[in-house]
A = this chain, B = another copy of it.
Amino acid sequence: MISVGIIEDIKDLRDPLFEFISSRDEFLCNIAVESVEDFLEEVSKSDVPMDVILLDIGLPGISGLSAIKLIKDKLPDVSIIMLTVFDDSDKIFAAIQAGAVGYLVKNTPLDQIKQSILDTYNGGTSLSPEIARKVLEFFDKTKRNIESPLTEKEKQIVAGMVDGQSFKMIAANLGNTLDTIKSHAKNIYKKLQVNSKAEVIAKSFRGEI
């Protein structure tokens, strides 16, 4: 019997999933909650077994992405399958890196969801060709030049950010004024479509720059 957990904020998706999984002899759905917070609370107070978790990638509050670490911290042996609305390969790849082992688009037929849970429980995983390729490219050090929209100068500044340096320090290291670095930072944010240093650092570590 495979213990399955569901974390999905939309009731209209969560309930049918719960019904379906509960109705099957091979599955047991111990937990079906709307947030990561609720999930962590549930597993904390009662010592429920947990084999596979279906986790919405785009939850409000603690996002599904950051939840992976939190969950695996508590349940290191659980297999996490992400639920996504669209086939957002960047987010899915980030989830894979964080420790998820698969993903399902939300309108997947119930029968195939069943199969995915079984596959996952039996040590397999199902990835789309694009995601799998991204994962493989991560391995292939020979071809790690993802063409970045950033200029050399901008890359140097990003490197400083990733180092944990303040703009003042970066300016000093590169021999520029603070305003120059701030100006470059503005351009970097625009190019990467973010609006904080923190997001740039995160993107960089995910290999998205």
Contacts and interface: CB of A to CB of B under 8 A. Distances in A.
Contacts of A90: none
Interface string A150-175: 00100110011111111000000110
A138 interface: yes
Interface residues of A, number: 64
A89 to B, nearest CB: 10
List the 8 closest pairs (A to B, CB-CB), nearest first: A124-B129, A205-B205, A66-B159, A164-B199, A72-B142, A125-B133, A99-B142, A61-B173
Interface of A: 37, 40, 60-63, 65-70, 72-73, 76-77, 96-99, 101, 119, 123-130, 132-133, 135-136, 138-143, 145, 148, 152, 155-156, 159-166, 173-174, 194, 196-199, 201-202, 205-206
